[in-house]
Structure 1
Amino acid sequence: MRNSTLLLAIASAMFMQAAPAAAQNNVPIRKIKAVKPTTELTLLDRVESDTHRKIYQYNEYGYITSVMEYNKEAGQWVLDTDNSYRQEYVFNAAGQCTARTSFNVDKAGNKTTEKNKAKVEVIGDTTWERYYKEYPDSTTHISEAYAYDQWGNRVEEILYGYDSYNRKEFIRRYKKREYSGPVDIYADNANYTSIERGRLLYDLTAKGQDDYHYTMNTNELYVDEFRKIVWQTENDKLYKREYTCPNYLQITVGSIEREMWKSSESEFALNADGTRPVRETMRSYDQTGEVTGDNISHSYTWDNLGRLLSDIRYNGSTSEISYKDEYTYADDYAKKLSLREAIEALDGGGQIYPEDEFMQFGHPATSSYYYPDDGDKGESTYEWNANGQLIGGKWTETYKEYDSNNDNPTTVTDYGEIRVGYNADGHLAWKIDHSISENEFIKIEYLYNKKGVWTSEAEYDGDSWDGPWTKEDWSKARARKRLATRAATAPKFIDDMRDGYHYIENNDGVWNTNGNYEVSAGVVTHGYYQQTLASNASVPANPQYNYTDPLMPLEREDEEDAEYVTSETIWYYDWNTDKDDWELLGYPTEAQRVYNKDGNIVADTYNGNQTIVSTITYRLDDDGRLIEEIYSKGGNITYEYLPGTDYLLESVETAADNSRNVCHYYYSKHNYVDPTGIESIKRNDASTPVWYDLQGRRITTPTSKGIYIVNGKKVMVR
């Protein structure tokens, strides 16, 4: 069914990509503060394998001041000066870190030249972080710069290069963004993509023509991607205008304002007090400024509390109604939304928690939709408790079904009931949709991380309200709602051949597709779409980075390679009028889809042909800790933890040829600098004959888990 009803829609956010988890050791220096810990910290002292050792030291704030790496040569530990360093911090009068510098060391571990450094500078409402590193000619140059706005969003990124032979610094890649509100704080939210898109006002990606395009002037870089949203008030109307640039890589950043053109526009006529739109007209333009396709318009009506009563969409003219949505409300509750927030809600944005899907403006009592062209219609009723929580509802839908040739329609009436449940935080935990007419039960489980952020969803089929439930594979799931079946020879996504401009929006659980096409005289004249992989999970953070407080900065990882991979994970298709079909124009060399399967997290890597070339399976234990990574091409890594903690005790890497590398992790309790010497070992390693408990009593062997004194050292036995 078309099913634009709020209650009936299986939350579209289940298809939104969750942002990949950031490594915890890569912490912005603007978040480092000179605050002494009030409690003991469990910090990593060293990591050790048969051939390698890494030793850490800390300052009074718990931040790392030195990392010494050793390799075993001729049975002796020898300092690896290439990977060892000492680190110093500079704090201002407010206790905020303004600089951090790492130094190379000599064979004795003494500080020598600069290895890398980072600085923080506040300019107005923008905070800049700049990172510098040492290059092969032993000189230090800027490598990365990031700017953050007043809400903490990263709004500028500059990746630099340095040519040691010509001794020239240059910009390799540049990104600039502007938002209308906080975005980055929702990075783990299941609806993050929608939130970001709704608040993104300016988006620019540019780079040098090649690695030898020497420039430190961003205006001389070539545009790779550009989008600009401008909100303007003219007379009694509000306009949202989107601008773009043609001929990417042939236009420099400095010429954007001259070369950009208005690609679309939404015109809003407002009510008397200017708080709500009463009519919206959307237009698309070609590069010459001519309107393309038919205008699309909406008319909106509101009650005196600013809640939506009806939304009528028109195609081409005000006399041709495309669909109609209508709402009534159960009480006087109304969300306090500004004009811009109300417009975002009309477009389905602003959904932070799953229950927001049902209460964009208030607590609806009923909602209904109607499509005049084929008579599809539906209605939902809602039930709320005294705390303003949705507790359930009922729905009915009437629609047409077609045969495999899209012929011989028959009218079908479907009806059912919804029940929901909540978690301890008051957010939706699950929703069960029972189609009475089809005798189907579908359960959506809403998943949250430890911080209470809604991160993803899982879908199940069942036989009753109480299950039993079978987890659905979204890549193979059938849609319960009706989709018109087209002949197998029809081009993908071409399902409306009426003259005019048509949007493509599709998500099958694996591929997320967006685009548009235009039909003239019954023929597709042009169009495009792009596809990205639809993830509903995130790759678990490497547990080797979890052994310390998230604000403890370790050595900074090189993000450059990851930047290029994540920025080019889009497949671009254009309509080929000669072939009367889609043609692939651009694709990434590799892209990753991350999803939940059988209680594990799976990451598939695709090549440009949209074929899976490798898979990593991440197994988690009951506490959500990563315990194994399994590689489809052979080999695995297992992780073992100190009991009751997230501190890694041992990692074992087995290669495809069965060779192994085992690392052990040792920890200490720190008030500030001085360790107490608590080491962690396995019980079967605890063979030293002289044992004491913490009361000083000598024992033959430990009888339970805990801390003991062995040869003058405290040892944790598991």
Structure 2
Amino acid sequence: MRNSTLLLAIASAMLLQAAPAVAQNNVPIRKIKAVKPTTELTLLDRVESDTHKKIYQYNEYGYITSVMEYNKEAEQWVLNTDNSYRQEYVFNAAGQCTARTAFNVDKAGNKTTEKNKAKVEVIGDTTWERYYKEYPDSTTHISEAYAYDKWGNRVEEILYGYDGYNRMEFIRSYKKREYSGPVDIYADNANYTSIERGRLLYDLTAKGQDDYHYTMNTNDLYVDEFRKVVWQTENDKLYAREYGCNRSLEITVGSIEREMWKSSEREFILNADGTRPVRETIRSYDETGEVMGDNISHSYTWDNLGRLLSNIRYKGTSSEISYKDEYTYADDYAKKLSLREAIAELSCGNQIYPEDEFLQFGRIATSSYNYVADGDKGESTYEWNANGQLIGGTWTETCTQSGPDNDNPTTVTDRGEIRVGYNADGHMAWKIDHSITESDFSKIEYIYNKEGVWTSEVEYSGDSWDGPWTKEGEWGNARARKRLATRAATTPKFIDDLTDGSHSIEKHDGVWNTYGNYNVTDGVVTGGGYQQTLISTASVPANPAYNYTDPLMPLEREEDEDAEVASEEMWYYYWNTDKGDWELDWGPTDAQRVYENDGNIVADIYDRNQTIVSTITYRLDDDGRLIEETYSKGGNITYEYLPGTNYLLESVETAADNSRNVCHYYYSKHNYVDPTGIESIKRNDASTPVWYDLQGRRITTPTSKGIYIVNGKKVMVH
């Protein structure tokens, strides 16, 4: 999100220090290879405004070897040595990058001391990336280390610090994980959290006790969080035992195995060939090993293709049924699942695409559920096309409803039907659910990114199969306005019931989500509180792509996979009994509500008094590219793109006083191909403009004899 002027935006673009748009094309060190691209690359050669300039050079593999930034002083371009650098790569015999070092430069652009470096080391099935950086005392020390398993999951992370006064390196924080399969490749998936949780076998976070707890030994760090899952086979049973530790105690990493205790256990009795569980019992334990509460148990039946036919849950370890699910299948198709994969599917832990919900074991023909205790039950049928895609179905649900005192119970039956649509990639694009009894329609639209990864979903309500559709959260506007109009002006807002007791507050008027409660005694409000958040129905457009095409050496490393997501801004109110009204306790000073308006995206900025103090309007072109930002306080930013691409060609700031700042982005085609041999060329014939030396530095013409790269070929100049 951006609400600054273009001057700051241009400064960020000129510095190009891993802004979000740059980070999306980062190439991890361990994935850099000495492979020449077989197609032309469009690479950014120069960024320039009236006051700043930045120039890039690349080696024959398309990786950055030089970044030179200039500031204009006395109408002359002067190299900014703080933000300029050169970098070199080391490749092993297999063409894998094993080291990258960036160097500081002097005023002439020549490399001097190390700025930062990275090394790659393969130990068994684990690949380590270690990063080093220069500290203010001009010494270089390790700053970060990451380990990746055979699936590419990040399984260890160590962040280091350096005390320049005492000249001591130390570990600031440590994370260790172990997975049973690939996880990180689903990082953008809507169900990433459940996939990660289902495959996470070991999770440890630790840190030093305080700022003076210097150690380079991970075993000396203090445990912050810990979870361990152990799968064990004993006789004909399979166990998944989860362990934790008492976080209130100061436990070190080295002592965790002694201090941990079993917190839960899943026991599976297997079928005759050991491919499917037929009984599951779940137990929870306290620190003394005593069972906590009632056990949970299930029984499962399967057909001869390994597909689930029924799932029955019992009350504790008794034979009394709590609920029952049953399934039939439309054809003979069955997913090939191992025992562990089948167990994961029972917990819906492998939903990569929306349609996977209906394809856990095969193509479901019918399903039913029955909650014995309260009589709720339902049945569904499913319709599939010739391509094996779910295209619709019907459902019936029956439940018992009672009055306030559980009197006058009545049986209510609801019927409905579902239709499903698909995108060009063959994945579910939308699902419409029509409740025939309630005469309403609800639609879920599944959102995918450019790589085809399912990232989120949006819910709508409508009046027919064809809509019109209204996003959930907006439907309550008219009702909210009507309530406000009919409520007495002297009545404090949200006080709708003055009968004695506790009353909840839950309001959604399209702009605000409100939750809270208040207490009434003898017809007077005696206390309460509520909290409010803004309802955003859109997102601020991403910054224009002033970054580069893959594959490129990153200017920065991968973003931290556990980087904290910005928390939702929230206002807190409490009931002031002296004033007989609500009073603000705390509120943010710079919160945004983002929504669509007249085809544009609008971001309103609120102060702590819930007053809109400024607005940013974002205008997009037909290709979804951001082409203008307009600020209510004056000024705008316009963006122009390289034709046929998403690459930024020009950005123009017009400030409130009509002053302008223009930034241009210059690209060129780089064609790297594998050479067929070394060709000989005389120096006075060397008129080709695209020359590189063997260090990957771009030059105008060769200045000495030797081997150079010209248009992707090695040539000998003599």
- TM-score, normalised relative to structure 1: 0.74
Task: Report the AA paired with residue 565 of structure 1.
Answer: E
Query: Matched residues in 1 for 2:155 and 2:413: separation?
Result: 50
Question: Are residues 306 and 465 of structure 1, via their aligned partners in 2, closer, same or farther at CA, if it must alter by over 3 Å?
Answer: same
Query: Matched residues in 2 for 1:570 and 1:260: separation?
Result: 37
Aligned to 1:244: 244
* CA displacement, residues 661-713 of structure 1 (integer Å, 9 cap, x when unaligned): 54221112222598779xxxxxxxxxxxxxxxxxxxxxxxxxxxxxxxxxxxx
Deviation at 1:194, TM superposition (A): 1.2
Deviation at 1:296, TM superposition (A): 1.0
Aligned to 2:715: none
Task: Report the AA paired with residue 135 of structure 1.
Answer: Y
Query: Matched residues in 2 for 1:251 and 1:550: separation?
Result: 45
Structure 2 residue 385 is matched with structure 1 residue 385: yes
SS in 1 for 2:331: strand
Task: Report the AA paired with residue 457 of structure 1.
Answer: E
Task: Report the AA paired with residue 455 of structure 1.
Answer: T
Question: Are residues 46 and 21 of structure 1, via their aligned partners in 2, closer, same or farther at CA, if it must alter by over 3 Å?
Answer: closer
* CA displacement, residues 209-265 of structure 1 (integer Å, 9 cap, x when unaligned): 233321111111111111111111111111111111112572111111111111111
| Conserved? CA contact 1:448–1:456, under 8 Å | yes
Question: Are residues 183 and 139 of structure 1, via their aligned partners in 2, closer, same or farther at CA, if it must alter by over 3 Å?
Answer: same
Aligned to 1:712: none
Structure 2 residue 354 is matched with structure 1 residue 354: yes
* CA displacement, residues 599-648 of structure 1 (integer Å, 9 cap, x when unaligned): 888999999xxx99999987654434344678999987654311210111
Aligned to 1:697: none
Aligned to 1:84: 84
Structure 2 residue 372 is matched with structure 1 residue 395: no
Query: Matched residues in 1 for 2:534 and 2:289: separation?
Result: 33
Query: Matched residues in 2 for 1:231 and 1:313: separation?
Result: 23
Aligned to 2:268: 268
* CA displacement, residues 467-518 of structure 1 (integer Å, 9 cap, x when unaligned): 22223238979xxxxxxxxx9948999xxxxxxxxxxxxxxxx99xxxxxxx
Query: Matched residues in 1 for 2:328 and 2:92: separation?
Result: 57
Query: Matched residues in 1 for 2:402 and 2:658: separation?
Result: 56
Query: Matched residues in 1 for 2:241 and 2:603: separation?
Result: 38
Task: Report the AA paired with residue 205 of structure 1.
Answer: T
Question: Are residues 25 and 592 of structure 1, via their aligned partners in 2, closer, same or farther at CA, if it must alter by over 3 Å?
Answer: farther
* CA displacement, residues 68-98 of structure 1 (integer Å, 9 cap, x when unaligned): 1111112221111111001111111111111
Question: Are residues 671 and 552 of structure 1, via their aligned partners in 2, closer, same or farther at CA, if it must alter by over 3 Å?
Answer: same
Deviation at 1:389, TM superposition (A): 1.5
| Conserved? CA contact 2:296–2:316, under 8 Å | yes
| Conserved? CA contact 1:224–1:248, under 8 Å | no
Question: Are residues 160 and 424 of structure 1, via their aligned partners in 2, closer, same or farther at CA, if it must alter by over 3 Å?
Answer: same
Aligned to 1:192: 192
Query: Matched residues in 1 for 2:283 and 2:613: separation?
Result: 42
Identify which range, 320-329 or 82-91, moves more after superposition: 320-329
Query: Matched residues in 2 for 1:24 and 1:249: separation?
Result: 40
Question: Are residues 325 and 489 of structure 1, via their aligned partners in 2, closer, same or farther at CA, if it must alter by over 3 Å?
Answer: farther
Query: Matched residues in 1 for 2:617 and 2:405: separation?
Result: 41
**Structure 2: unaligned runs, 5 residues or longer:** 1-19, 478-499, 507-511, 514-532, 571-587, 674-687, 692-718
Task: Report the AA paired with residue 286 of structure 2.
Answer: D
Question: Are residues 116 and 537 of structure 1, via their aligned partners in 2, closer, same or farther at CA, if it must alter by over 3 Å?
Answer: farther
Structure 2 residue 441 is matched with structure 1 residue 422: no
Question: Are residues 648 and 348 of structure 1, via their aligned partners in 2, closer, same or farther at CA, if it must alter by over 3 Å?
Answer: same
Aligned to 2:451: 451
Within 5 Å, give how 1:208-287 maps onto structure 2.
208-248=208-248, 250-287=250-287
| Conserved? CA contact 2:311–2:324, under 8 Å | yes
Task: Report the AA paired with residue 365 of structure 2.
Answer: A
Within 5 Å, give how 1:93-242 maps onto structure 2.
93-242=93-242
Deviation at 1:568, TM superposition (A): 9.4
Aligned to 2:544: 543
SS in 1 for 2:250: coil
Deviation at 1:540, TM superposition (A): 6.4
Deviation at 1:153, TM superposition (A): 0.8
Identify which range, 662-671 or 630-639, moves more after superposition: 630-639
Query: Matched residues in 2 for 1:651 and 1:242: separation?
Result: 54
| Conserved? CA contact 2:27–2:552, under 8 Å | yes
Question: Are residues 570 and 338 of structure 1, via their aligned partners in 2, closer, same or farther at CA, if it must alter by over 3 Å?
Answer: farther
Aligned to 2:56: 56
Query: Matched residues in 2 for 1:671 and 1:330: separation?
Result: 53
Question: Are residues 619 and 463 of structure 1, via their aligned partners in 2, closer, same or farther at CA, if it must alter by over 3 Å?
Answer: same
Query: Matched residues in 2 for 1:232 and 1:256: separation?
Result: 20
Query: Matched residues in 1 for 2:184 and 2:632: separation?
Result: 33
Within 5 Å, give how 1:680-695 maps onto structure 2.
none
| Conserved? CA contact 2:545–2:646, under 8 Å | no
Task: Report the AA paired with residue 265 of structure 1.
Answer: E
SS in 2 for 1:399: strand
Question: Are residues 163 and 243 of structure 1, via their aligned partners in 2, closer, same or farther at CA, if it must alter by over 3 Å?
Answer: same
Identify which range, 42-51 or 666-675, moves more after superposition: 666-675
Deviation at 1:461, TM superposition (A): 1.8
Question: Are residues 650 and 570 of structure 1, via their aligned partners in 2, closer, same or farther at CA, if it must alter by over 3 Å?
Answer: closer
* CA displacement, residues 365-392 of structure 1 (integer Å, 9 cap, x when unaligned): 1100011111111000111222222121
Question: Are residues 450 and 375 of structure 1, via their aligned partners in 2, closer, same or farther at CA, if it must alter by over 3 Å?
Answer: same
| Conserved? CA contact 1:670–1:676, under 8 Å | no
* CA displacement, residues 161-194 of structure 1 (integer Å, 9 cap, x when unaligned): 1111111111111111111111111111111111
Question: Are residues 61 and 612 of structure 1, via their aligned partners in 2, closer, same or farther at CA, if it must alter by over 3 Å?
Answer: farther
Query: Matched residues in 2 for 1:591 and 1:405: separation?
Result: 47
Question: Are residues 310 and 160 of structure 1, via their aligned partners in 2, closer, same or farther at CA, if it must alter by over 3 Å?
Answer: same
Aligned to 1:435: 435
Identify which range, 437-446 or 667-676, moves more after superposition: 667-676
Query: Matched residues in 2 for 1:302 and 1:550: separation?
Result: 47
Query: Matched residues in 2 for 1:332 and 1:115: separation?
Result: 62
Query: Matched residues in 2 for 1:85 and 1:398: separation?
Result: 70
* CA displacement, residues 514-536 of structure 1 (integer Å, 9 cap, x when unaligned): xxxxxxxxxxxxxxxxxx99999
Query: Matched residues in 2 for 1:206 and 1:627: separation?
Result: 45
Question: Are residues 420 and 198 of structure 1, via their aligned partners in 2, closer, same or farther at CA, if it must alter by over 3 Å?
Answer: same
- TM-score, normalised relative to structure 2: 0.74
Task: Report the AA paired with residue 88 of structure 1.
Answer: E
Query: Matched residues in 1 for 2:302 and 2:437: separation?
Result: 34
Query: Matched residues in 2 for 1:619 and 1:670: separation?
Result: 33
Query: Matched residues in 2 for 1:653 and 1:183: separation?
Result: 42
SS in 2 for 1:239: strand
Decide which structure has the larger Cα Rg and report it.
2
Query: Matched residues in 2 for 1:291 and 1:613: separation?
Result: 57
Aligned to 1:342: 342
Aligned to 1:365: 365
Question: Are residues 107 and 249 of structure 1, via their aligned partners in 2, closer, same or farther at CA, if it must alter by over 3 Å?
Answer: farther
**Structure 1: unaligned runs, 5 residues or longer:** 1-19, 478-486, 494-509, 512-531, 572-588, 678-718
Question: Are residues 158 and 426 of structure 1, via their aligned partners in 2, closer, same or farther at CA, if it must alter by over 3 Å?
Answer: same
Aligned to 2:480: none
Question: Are residues 473 and 124 of structure 1, via their aligned partners in 2, closer, same or farther at CA, if it must alter by over 3 Å?
Answer: same
Q: How many residues align?
A: 599
Aligned to 1:331: 331
Task: Report the AA paired with residue 45 of structure 2.
Answer: D
Question: Are residues 422 and 558 of structure 1, via their aligned partners in 2, closer, same or farther at CA, if it must alter by over 3 Å?
Answer: closer
| Conserved? CA contact 1:24–1:541, under 8 Å | no
Query: Matched residues in 1 for 2:600 and 2:404: separation?
Result: 37
Query: Matched residues in 2 for 1:339 and 1:621: separation?
Result: 50
Aligned to 1:523: none
Aligned to 2:42: 42
Query: Matched residues in 2 for 1:535 and 1:29: separation?
Result: 37
* CA displacement, residues 15-69 of structure 1 (integer Å, 9 cap, x when unaligned): xxxxx99813532111111122223221111111222111111111111111011
